[in-house]
Amino acid sequence: MTEPTTRPSRLLERTQILGALASKWQDAVRGNGSVVLVTGEAGIGKTSVVRAFRESLGAVRILSGACDDLQTARAFGPLRDAAAASCGPLEDALASGAGEEVFDGALTELRTQPPTLLIVEDLHWSDDATLDVLAFLARRIDSVAAMVLVTIRDGGAAPGHPLHRWLGSLAGLPVQRIVLPSLSAGAVAELADQTDWDAATLHELTGGNPFYVTEALAAPPDDAVPATVADAVLARVRQLDSTSIDAVERLSVVPTLVEFELADVLLGDRIDHLTSAEDSGIVQVRSDGIAFRHELARRAVEASLSGLRRRTLHRNVIGALGAMPRPDLARLVHHGLAANDSITVIRFAARAGRESAAVGSHRQALAHFEAALRYADTLSTVDLARLLDDYAWELYNAHRFSDAVDVGERAVARYLDVGDPVLLGEARVRLSRHYYMIGDTRRAVETSRAALEGLEQTSSLGATAYAATSHGAVLALAGDTDEAAPILDRALQLATESERVDLIELCLNYQSLVRRDVDQDGRIALLRKSLALALEHGHHEHAARAYTNLGEILYRSAKFDELDVCLRSALRFTAERGFGSHAFNLEVHQALLRIRRGDWQAGEDALAAIIDRAEDPGMLRVYSVPTYARLLARKNPDTDLAATLLGAWHTAVEQGSLLALSFAGPALAEYAWISGRADLAAMVFEQWQSVCDRPGAGPVWGEVLRYCTRAGVDIGAAALDDIPERWAAGLQGDAAAAVAQWETIGDPYERALELVEAGTPEQTREALSILDGLGAAAAAAAVRRQLKTHGMQVVPRGPHSSTKAHPAGLTARQADVLDLVAQGLTNAEIADRLFLSVRTVDHHVSSILGKLGVSTRRDAGAVARSMAAVP
């Protein structure tokens, strides 16, 4: 049997990639920083490329860290590694234990000694907190003399892993993605030269994966050809002497990196025997410790161990880590689980969960709590109650609202056995939130009331303020505004007396929903004050709530420019801090804004994606489902959406919240008009009469009335006092004023519907042109039926025949606009030529760009000429 030959690894077919990295580094040196993602399959050579790039730079400042393949990732794991080498502001921020300080600490670290290269390897194993910091840096690095180099394994993150959302958040930022390809047959042949391997066979077996190729070359080809990486790795390991194999096996149970201090304890005198393993390329000695050259190799060795041997080695690691001055809790839990060591898991898992939650790594906190619950029967009643309560809150953060209710109820039951009224009351406050999130407002109110009544009997002023704030908030959200108002007033007083700024922020937030002495601008002012306080004091979840409610009020107030600014800030804020449920709300409002402004396709795509990825949306579906169905109802005359919209409506009525009724009511009323179902509109009108006097309901009430009248409902002498002019004008028959209002606001759809009411043939044609351009086929059909009913003899036919004939699916009017765009006319000149408003032309141009799949007018003109749409 031919002995395997140990060959030094050579970096082939990576020159262009190293050149791209060098170019980005030069940009960073000049003060134009960026983030570079090096991605590819396992074993493709990401680490080798990073190593070669580092070596090419010479003496520059490099901070380096890696994510570990722990069952639950370490909070800020790679940043801790990087900070250890600098002893700078990042290390100070991490040592403080305040997660929020790490954001500024990381940015300051990069700015302190420019230029700086920050390397984070294996981000697919990252914790949530690290992703948040990297997103923060990505948004600010363009003016920093630094480069952030990240490696990510393709397929390394499971569906639903925060890495996917993190990658999506980088759109539009100074980020370059470099995908490492497999080696060509020629490169594999070069590596296999002067070996006993057949190059073609080797390439076929390995697919050109550099790691597979290297490992296969190190094994004898006349042995069974390795079918897996494990076979290749173990063939190499078996060539070592027994003491070296023992050392390699001891290291194999520690993911990614074994620090020298830990290696000394685990290996003792055996550490000297790692030289042969290093020489053969199995392990490598780095500046910060010892690691397998490839993580896949480590896994292969660990998997080869017997169960008893593996358990023993994990227990050795537990002993070594536990003896350190500041043991890493996440690593202790990982090895405790692997060793089935109940004592270690019980001792550290809950603490690790709370530590992770405190710095924003909620997914890791959830996993730690789940690990601790494996041994629930060993815990005291009070410890189990606390664990269940914490676990329920992390389930809520994970959007597992139904599970949060189940676990929260178990926590409350245990606290009843404990007999501590303060702990019981605070757990009931949190359970009330869980009930609300599944849409059970009745139990949410009952539970928050029980919490308040119980805590009022204690001497804890802070806990009572907490319960009063929660109860007032739930009542406000449920629509019981008159009951909520005095409770929130009292909660604000208690919060002030107990110096609970966090509760003051929430009181101001929810007072915006219940106060009758303020108008919409006053509500916005309350929310901005709540937001400012939360940001000032670092209460980020409360800031996220303020952003969410502020977005809703701005949307109802049709302050779309302000809403746009708010959403941009809010979505960035929630993305950086991992507030998923708040981001859900904000993303729906962003889709709504796009729809209002006429970009229906973008709105539809966004809503479809939001609905598709939400596994347990709970009450959040009151935003997304009726909004999505409403848009589809406008567009598709042949789609029956009655069941969907009626389901959303009945859910809203059952919940009784103004929020739910505000989305489901207008959606069903509009569908009633489009489909000719006056009975449905009458049902909406009757229900809304009972809630229209709630604080802040005026804008939605006006929308409901407008669509009910279009559907043929006699609204009688419905009060219009609190209804905004944009709706009141149309209800009072002043179509010209309504058209002007929607023109100013920038909503082409509502403007078109009011143009129809204006009644002149020119305005009618313009209205139908707008509707056809939007793709509002069903709404346009309803308008045409209405016009025929009123005796209009000549009604424009709609887009079907013309769009069918046009190669890009443009209407005749859109084709006219495209013709003039291709000739170089501005929108104002086109409007003058075609006797349209500039805003109508704006919308046509936007729609044309979308249908042509281009982003500029110049590209649209080029496409038009290629289709012979212009001479």
CATH of the domain at 161: 3.40.50.300
Across the range 482-509, mean pLDDT stands at 97
pLDDT band (50, 70, 90) for residue 17: very high
C-alpha pair distances (Å), 159 with each of 162, 369, 383, 859: 9, 21, 33, 36
Furthest CA-CA distance within the chain: 100
Looking at residue 637, its pLDDT comes to 81
Of the two residues 627 and 87, the one the predictor is more confident about is 627
* Residue 444, domain member (yes or no): no
* Residue 72, domain member (yes or no): yes
- State the chain's mean pLDDT as an integer: 88
d(CA 558, CA 552): 10
| 359-397 residue pLDDT tens | 878 888 999 999 999 999 999 999 999 999 999 999 988
* Residue 528, domain member (yes or no): no
Residue 738 has pLDDT above 50, yes or no: yes
Looking at residue 795, its pLDDT comes to 52
Across the range 6-22, mean pLDDT stands at 80
142 and 161 together in one domain:
yes
| Pairing outcome for strands 289-292 and 283-286 | antiparallel
C-alpha pair distances (Å), 610 with each of 555, 628, 669: 19, 10, 24
Looking at residue 835, its pLDDT comes to 61
* Residue 840, domain member (yes or no): yes
- Helix and strand numbers (H, E) in the chain are 46, 7
* Residue 654, domain member (yes or no): no
* Residue 724, domain member (yes or no): no
* Residue 99, domain member (yes or no): yes
Residue 871 sits in a domain whose CATH number is: 1.10.10.10
Looking at 206, 227, 248, the residue that finishes a domain is: 227
Looking at residue 755, its pLDDT comes to 93
Q: What is the DSSP letter of 184?
A: P
27 and 168 together in one domain:
yes
Looking at residue 96, its pLDDT comes to 86
66 and 91 together in one domain:
yes
pLDDT over 90, % of the chain: 62
d(CA 409, CA 666): 36
Looking at residue 23, its pLDDT comes to 95
198 and 169 together in one domain:
no
Across the range 198-204, mean pLDDT stands at 82
Q: Which residues contact 226 (CB under 8 A, 6 or more apart)?
A: 205, 212, 215, 216, 219, 232, 235
Residue listed under structure tokens 């991605």: 39
Across the range 82-104, mean pLDDT stands at 87
Domain of 832 in residue numbering reads as 805-871
Residue 788 corresponds to which tokens in the numbers above? 């025929």
136 and 155 together in one domain:
yes
Across the range 808-828, mean pLDDT stands at 79
As for how many domains the chain has, the answer is 3
155 and 203 together in one domain:
no
47 and 173 together in one domain:
yes
Across the range 681-709, mean pLDDT stands at 95
pLDDT band (50, 70, 90) for residue 129: very high
d(CA 568, CA 672): 34
* Residue 821, domain member (yes or no): yes
Residue 526 has pLDDT above 80, yes or no: yes
33 and 90 together in one domain:
yes
Q: Cis before residue 115, ω within 30 degrees of 0?
A: yes
| 39-84 residue pLDDT tens | 998 889 999 999 999 999 988 999 999 999 888 888 999 999 999 8
Looking at residue 802, its pLDDT comes to 44
Looking at residue 380, its pLDDT comes to 95
102 and 170 together in one domain:
yes
H or E element that contains 292:
strand 289-292
52 and 111 together in one domain:
yes
56 and 135 together in one domain:
yes
pLDDT band (50, 70, 90) for residue 581: confident
Residue 483 has pLDDT above 80, yes or no: yes
48 and 192 together in one domain:
no
Residue listed under structure tokens 């569906």: 159
**Range of weakest confidence among 265-269, 450-454, 661-665, 833-837:** 833-837
